[in-house]
Structure 1
């Protein structure tokens, strides 16, 4: 069992007019085998939370703690957070020209596991995971994300998760840019990994459609840099019907 505990997290970014606070005291706990959905309007700080957990240098934590099994990951370098069991699937995965997917994945697995996986076992593991995600085997020799469609990039993110085997996975708008078929495949990959590993999932999304495929245990409404309300799946249903107006005081497009 693993636990990610976020305690009174405050985060700011540097702007042209000076520091701006984005997260204003976030409290949240995610346990193994739980899926927590964070929903909120654009600009509410959802992605800031994801990148702050992962250690992006743009985001300055001014106070609070992020504990993984009692260890404060804010005291760790980015690579140490990954080795400790944290994983971030990015909303906009970057292209890495000249680095093949196969080399990237094996290097990442070596770094997180502490030793290089045995080649014969590794090849079988990668082929199986790629097949589950309906990824063409030829992609293994292509440069990371270079020329990939949005759906292909997101499948690669889930492929990384399946191979790196994190304790806690933060999925930042994994549904962004996906058509229905790609959403189905990506969601199945997330569900399969959770069933096999008891990973805790923090699923950040603006819309409810991915929650039709990945059922949340808890839903948190994120507004103005903090959790405005928490509840069960019925809270997502309310958001789908009424949008975020109850929380923001202004009309916002309804989740779809």
Structure 2
């Protein structure tokens, strides 16, 4: 589904990622772990198509489609979803207004008719319930005054509405309590069963009791230095990242 080959990425003329190799199939959950400043967020930005991040070499394809020539919007329409650690706040635009614009723009790109107001509201209410969000949440400003847990559950709600081919979730556990972790885990498992592939980026392994990854990758010094099962996360919990040399 998502295939990254020999990817090197620089920021402000400084190479951050070096020869990243990563293949994640439909319905798989992969976890990317590493200390601060090693390139985890750089990989997210490169997948997104942020113009401040230069792909020096390599390739990124999604379902066989080369993503590198595509704009951010075109990548989204190909089925790529990025859930940010700190999503943007837009006061004055309600969540419901945003969901409507998001869903119908995606449907238009797929040559489908827009949803009418009643059908859209039904889908949004169902997704909000799955995300553990009350109905009045829909009418609040987008991420305006949200707690960390509300922001993460709002990103989950958007994923449930779009059912993307592939989702990157940056710092999945940031600002979440145990109850919110369970809700996010349940939502990710639901999408996984529908075929969505995931790359979950985190520092800490404590939330793995709510999700079982297919693979864990350790990123150090701009390279994936080791890949394996959930036991790698246990090694990080026991010994930190010092056990992994670049």
Does TM, normalized by the shorter one, top 0.5?
yes
Shift of 1:160: 0.6
Shift of 1:61: 1.1
Cα shift at 1:55: 1.1
Question: Who is 1:102 aligned against?
Answer: 96
Aligned equivalent of 1:175: 173
Aligned ranges 1:131-146 → 2 under 5 Å:
131-146=129-144
CA contact (8 A) 2:173 2:181 kept: yes
Aligned counterpart, 1:254: none
Report how many residues are paired: 242
Shift in Å, 1:135: 0.5
Instruction: Tell me, yes or no, if the aligned pair for 1:39 and 1:219 is still in contact at 8 Å.
Output: yes
1:68-126 residue CA offsets vs partner (Å, 9 max, x unmatched):
11111011000000000000000111101111100101111111121422322221111
2:220 maps to 223
- Please, what TM-score do these two structures have when normalized by structure 1? 0.91
Question: Alpha-carbon deviation of 1:248?
Answer: 4.0
Q: Is the CA contact 2:11–2:54 (under 8 Å) kept in the aligned structure 1? A: yes
Distance in 1 between residues matched to 2:83 and 2:151, nearest whole Å: 10
Q: How does 1:56-67 map to 2 (within 5 A)?
A: 56-67=50-61
Matched, 1:125 2:123: yes
- Equivalent position of 2:154 in the other structure: 156
Contact 1:106 1:116 (C-alpha < 8 Å) held by counterparts: no
The 1-side partners of 2:35 and 2:233 are apart by 13
Residue 193 of structure 1 deviates from its aligned partner by: 2.1
Structure 2, gaps ≥5 residues long: none
Deviations 1:19-55 (A, max 9, x none): 1111111010011110000011111111110111011
Residue 210 of structure 1, aligned match among 197, 204, 207: 207
Structure 1 residue runs without a partner (length 5+): 250-256
1:1-256 matches, within 5 Å, as: 3-14=1-12, 19-114=13-108, 115-195=113-193, 197-248=194-245
- Which range is displaced more, 111-120 or 39-48? 111-120
- Tell me the CA shift for residue 130 of structure 1: 0.3
> Quick one: distance in 1 between partners of 2:160 and 2:26?
15
Q: For 1:215 and 1:162, how far apart are their aligned partners in 2?
A: 19
Q: Which residue in 2 is equivalent to 1:252?
A: none
RMSD: 1.2
Normalised by the length of structure 2, the TM-score is 0.95
Instruction: Find the aligned partners of 1:209 and 1:223 in 2 and give their Cα distance.
Output: 20
The DSSP-based 3-state class of the residue aligned with 1:38 is strand
Distance 2:49 2:106 in 1: 16
Deviation at 1:131, TM superposition (A): 0.7
